[in-house]
Amino acid sequence: MSPRAVPPSSRRPLLRGALVALLFAFSAPAAAGDTGSDEEFPCAVGPRAACAGVDLRHRVLKGRDLSGIDLTGANLAHAVLRDVDLRGADLSGAILDGAVLERAFLQGAKFAGVKARGANFDFARMSGSDFSGADLTGASLEMAWATKASFKGAILVNTNLQEAKLSESTLEGADLSGAFIRYALFLNTVMAACTACPTDWQAR
C-alpha cells in the first residue's frame, strides 16, 4: 500500500509549531557567559565603587570609567579592560592572569602583589602606578608609559617590554630574566639587586 499524502490543512499546525519554537529560541535569555547589564555584575561596577574580592572573570568592561574603584583581591582573570579608566584604583592582590588592559589609563593605580601572568598592558598609561611584588610573567607592556612607577620585587620573567617607557621608575629586586627590552627606556631607573636588568643601559 502506498503511503497516504498528508493533506495541506494537516501540515499547517506543524509549520506553526516550528515557527513558534524558532521564535522562542531567539528570545531566550543570554548565556551566563555573555556580558549583560550592570544588574548582572556582583557589585555596582563604576567610579569609586567597593568591589573588593568580586569575581569578574572573563567579563567585558572595555571603555568603562572605573577610576578610584576598590578591586583589592578581585578575580579579573581573562577580563577585557581595554581602554578602561582605572586611575587611582586599588587592585592590590587581584588576579589579572590573561586580562587585556590595552590602552588602559592606570596612572596612580595600585597593583601591588597582583598575578597578571600573560596579561596585555600594551600602550597602557601606567605612570606613578605601583606594581611592587606583582607577577607579570609572560605579560606584554609593549609601548606602555610607566614612568615613575614601582616594580620593586616584581617578576617580569619573559615579559615583553619593547619600547616601554620605564624612566625614573624602580626595578629594585625585580627579575627580568628573558624579558624583551628592545628600545625600552630606563633613564634614571633604580635597578639595585635586579636580576637581568640592563644595568649598563645608561652607557649604551
Q: What is the CATH number of the domain that holds 149?
A: 2.160.20.80
Residue 10 placed within a domain: no
Domain count, the chain: 1
Residue 2 placed within a domain: no
In degrees, to the nearest 5, what angle opens at C-alpha 152 toward C-alphas 156 and 165?
65
Residue 40 placed within a domain: no
Instruction: Give me 54's grid cell.
Output: 568580586
| Coil/strand/helix, residue 179 | coil
Residue 153 placed within a domain: yes
Residue 73 placed within a domain: yes
Residue 31 placed within a domain: no
Give the whole-angstrom CA distance, residue 174 versus residue 77.
Answer: 23
Q: Residues 145-175: pLDDT tens digits? A: 999 999 999 999 999 999 999 999 999 999 9
Give the whole-angstrom CA distance, residue 80 versus residue 84.
Answer: 9
Residue 130 placed within a domain: yes
Residue 34 placed within a domain: no
Give the whole-angstrom CA distance, residue 195 versus residue 199.
Answer: 10
Q: Residues 171-190: pLDDT tens digits? A: 999 999 999 999 999 999 99
Domain span at 172: 46-204
Closest alpha carbon to 88 in 134, 129, 124: 129
For residue 33, count other CB atoms closer than 10 A to its CB.
Answer: 9
Give the whole-angstrom CA distance, residue 40 versus residue 159.
Answer: 34
For residue 6, count other CB atoms closer than 10 A to its CB.
Answer: 9
Q: Residues 192-204: pLDDT tens digits? A: 999 999 988 754 4
Q: Residues 103-134: pLDDT tens digits? A: 999 999 999 999 999 999 999 999 999 999 99
Tell me how far CA of residue 74 lies from CA of 51, 67, 92, 177, in angstroms. Answer: 7, 15, 9, 28
Q: Residues 35-58: pLDDT tens digits? A: 444 547 889 999 999 999 999 999
Lowest mean pLDDT across 23-32, 44-53, 94-103, 182-191: 23-32
